Structure 1
C-alpha cells in the first residue's frame, strides 16, 4: 500500500484471532499507513464450536470485506421451528421470505467461516502462542503489551477482539465483571446419515424445548448435522469455571440433562460419538458506557464489547461489523484515533445498548406472563419461553446494512464539518 504523508502512521495490535479479529485485520489492511498484527493465544488458529448462522447482516459485512464469495459451504435455513421437546407439539414456525436477489440465510460450520476469513489475511500479520498477560498505558508513546512468553510489543492502538472473557477489557475496565448465567451449552457435529432415520423433523433447523432446557438441531452443510443443547440451573446455587469453554465432556453427563425429552431426541444425543461433545459455560456482563479507553488507545470489538452470551445468535456478524466500522472511522479521520474512536463509539454503542434494552424487555414480559398464569403447567412454561417475532420488527439486527449505516454517518459528518 502506498504511504500517504498526510495520514498518520498507526501501529495496531489486534488481540484475538476469531471472526472479529480477522475481520478487523482485513478491513484495516485496506487503510493507508496502518500496520496491524493479530496476537492469538492458541498454538493453532482454529474455531471452537459447531455451527454458526449467516444471515443478511453477516452477508452484508462479508461482502464489504471481500470474503462473501469465499464462503461457499452451508445449509439454507429458510424455515425455523420451535417444538415442545416432551410432546413433540409444534409451537411456532417461521418461514423466511425467499428474496429474488442476494444470499439467503444459512447455517455453516464455524471452521468454514474462519477459513474464508483467514484466506484474506496475510499470514505474516498473525502471531500465535501470544497470550496477553498485561497492558501498560505509556501515554503519548502508546500501549505496551506484555505476553506470557515474555514478548513485549508497543502499539498505538489496541483492539480487544478476545471475546467475552477479554483480557483487554479486564485490564482497561478493571471494575467490569462477567458472571455465570446459569446456562451451560454442549455442542457436537455428526454425520446426518447417522441420525436421519429418527425423525424427518430433525432435518428442519429448530429448537426443541422444556422449561429450562432446549436442544437445537440443524444441518451445517457437507453432510454434517449440528446439535447444540442447553440447560439452565440457578446460578445462585450452581457455579461454573470461567475457563470452561470448548472443553471435552462425557456423553453420559450431557445426556443426563435431557431425560424428559422424546425418545427420538434422546437417541439423537446418544448417537454422538464418544469425545464428540464440547462444553461451554455461558457468562454475561452489564452494558458498558464506552467501548473505548485509555485516551482513545484501546477499543473493544465483538463479544468483549457486549457480554451478552450469544443472545441474538449473530455475534460473529456483530464483531465483523465492529471491525469494518472501526476501519472506516480511522480512514475518515486519517488514523487520528482521538477522533476516530469517539466516532466508533457513537455508531456502535447505541446499537448494543438497544440489544440490552430488548433483552431486558423480553425478560420482563415473560416474567409478567408467568405471574398471570399462577401455577403454570410444563407445557405453559415451554410456550412462555418461546421467542417469536410476535409482530416486533427485528430487522435492525438481522437485516442490518452496515454499509448504509456508515454512509448515513459520513453524510452527517460532511454536513457538520
Structure 2
C-alpha cells in the first residue's frame, strides 16, 4: 500500500515587497506546500529610489538564487561631509569582504525584478487587499479580502510592511508613531549632476544641523550605458517628533521642489545645485514611522508569523530592511523543513524561527536605545557647542561595517548552520 501523504501545508504570504517575495521563493522550494502571495496593489511596482546591498544582502540573495540579477554601483568610498561647508569629516574604510560581496547601491526596481523572476508562476495574486483575519483554531486561519473573497491557510506570513494589517489583527495594542524624520527621494540622470564638483563618484552624506543630503550612483557602468545611468538623491529633514503629533503616515507622495529645497538653503552650494536639477514633480516624500519591539514574532498558536518591517518596525534605522526581511523568509523555510525532518509540526517550526530572529531584533532595539541615550547625554553635557563639534560627535557614532559587523556582516546561512550544530549537541 502507498504510504500516507499528509495534505499540503497551505501558506498565505501577505505583501509583495522583498520579504514577501523572498519568502515565496524559499517556501515554494519545500515539498508538499502550497504557497500563495497576496499583494494589495494592482501591479507589483517598487516605490523609492536606490537600496544598499551589502555582504548580508548578497549572502541571502545567493541562497535565494537571485544574486546574479542584482547589479548597481560598487561603493568604492563613502564620504561624510559637513553639509554647510563641504569639509570632509570622515571617509569610511573600504569593505573588508571579497569584491563580489562589496556594498552596492542599486535601483530598487532591479532587486524587485530579480526576486520576482525566481517566484514560481501562479504564486502571486495581485489586487488582493487583506481586511480581515479569523482564527479557526485547528482548521487554520481565514483571510478575508476587500473584494469579498476568502481563503483558508495553515500559516499566514505577515510581510506587509510597517503598517502591517496582519500585525494590527494579532497585536492590536501595538502602535507606530512618527519618528520626526521625513525623507525626500529621487533618481536623476547622471548627466545632470556630472558637472557639479566633487559630487561623484563617491557615495556621500552631507550632514546639516537638522538633516542630511545623501547621494550615490546606482548603476553598474558595465551593464548600463552612460546616457541611461542614474544618480540617487535622498534628502532628510529631522524634527522633534513631539512637536508634530498630527503627522500622518505618507509613503511615496509627491513633493514640490520648493518644499524640498526650503530645508537645505544653508547647505554648501554644490548641494543646492544638485537639488536644483531635479525636474518639478519628480520628488517623492516618505514620512518615517516606527514602533516598539515585539517580544514574539508569532501568534495565534503558531499560525501567524511576522517578517520584515511588520515584525520590527524600525523605519530603516540600519538601512538593511530588505535584507532583514529576506533573511526572515529564508530562515522560516529552513525552520519548517527542519521541523518536518525531526517529526515536529508547524508549531515547532515557528518556535525555531522565533528563537533565531527575535533575539536578533532585540539586539537592534538595544543598540538604538543606547545610541539615543548617548545623543541625549551629549546634548546635556555640551549645550551650546558648535555645529562642527556636534557633527564630529554624531559621525563618530555613525554605524557601518566596522562597528556593526553583527548586522552588515551577518551570514544567514552560517546562522542556520550554527543552529543545527547547537541542536545536534543538545540531542546527543
- Bin for the TM-score computed over the shorter chain: over 0.9
Gaps of 5+ in 2: none
Aligned pair partner of 2:120 in 119, 122, 134: 122
Residue matched to 1:348: 357
Aligned pair partner of 1:406 in 398, 416, 421: 416
Residue matched to 1:332: 338
Shift of 1:120: 0.4
TM-score, normalised to structure 2, is 0.93
CA distance in 1, matches of 2:321, 2:401: 23
Residue matched to 2:327: 321
Residue matched to 2:165: 167
CA distance in 1, matches of 2:3, 2:362: 37
TM-aligned CA distance change 1:259 to 1:236, over 3 Å: same
Number of equivalenced pairs:
414
Q: What's the CA shift string for 1:125-175, capped at 9, x where partnerless?
A: 111111111111111111111111111111100000001111100110000
CA distance in 2, matches of 1:18, 1:159: 12
Residue matched to 2:389: 380
CA distance in 2, matches of 1:243, 1:100: 40
CA distance in 1, matches of 2:245, 2:265: 22
Shift of 1:111: 0.3
Shift of 1:324: 0.2
The within-5 A match list for 1:103-182 is 103-182=101-180
Aligned pair partner of 1:308 in 314, 318, 323: 314
TM-score, normalised to structure 1, is 0.95
Residue matched to 1:80: 78
CA distance in 2, matches of 1:230, 1:4: 60
CA distance in 2, matches of 1:188, 1:369: 33
CA distance in 2, matches of 1:106, 1:18: 19
Asked whether the 8 Å contact 1:74–1:109 carries over to 2, the reply is: yes
Asked whether the 8 Å contact 2:400–2:408 carries over to 1, the reply is: no
Shift of 1:262: 1.1
Gaps of 5+ in 1: none
CA distance in 2, matches of 1:100, 1:188: 30
TM-aligned CA distance change 1:195 to 1:407, over 3 Å: same
Shift of 1:183: 0.7
Residue matched to 2:67: 68
Residue matched to 2:284: 278
CA distance in 1, matches of 2:276, 2:3: 60
Shift of 1:114: 0.2
CA distance in 2, matches of 1:242, 1:165: 12
Asked whether the 8 Å contact 2:28–2:120 carries over to 1, the reply is: no
The answer to whether 1:263 aligns with 2:269 is yes
CA distance in 1, matches of 2:356, 2:264: 42
Asked whether the 8 Å contact 2:55–2:97 carries over to 1, the reply is: no
TM-aligned CA distance change 1:330 to 1:242, over 3 Å: farther
The answer to whether 1:394 aligns with 2:404 is yes
Task: Identify the range of structure 1 (255-264 vs 159-168) with the bigger mean alpha-carbon deviation.
Answer: 255-264
TM-aligned CA distance change 1:275 to 1:136, over 3 Å: same
Task: Identify the range of structure 1 (335-344 vs 312-321) with the bigger mean alpha-carbon deviation.
Answer: 335-344
TM-aligned CA distance change 1:391 to 1:129, over 3 Å: closer
Residue matched to 2:375: 366
Asked whether the 8 Å contact 2:76–2:202 carries over to 1, the reply is: no
Task: Identify the range of structure 1 (100-109 vs 191-200) with the bigger mean alpha-carbon deviation.
Answer: 100-109
CA distance in 1, matches of 2:306, 2:89: 38
Shift of 1:366: 2.0
TM-aligned CA distance change 1:390 to 1:322, over 3 Å: closer
CA distance in 2, matches of 1:75, 1:210: 25
Query: What's the RMSD between the two structures over aligned residues?
Result: 1.8
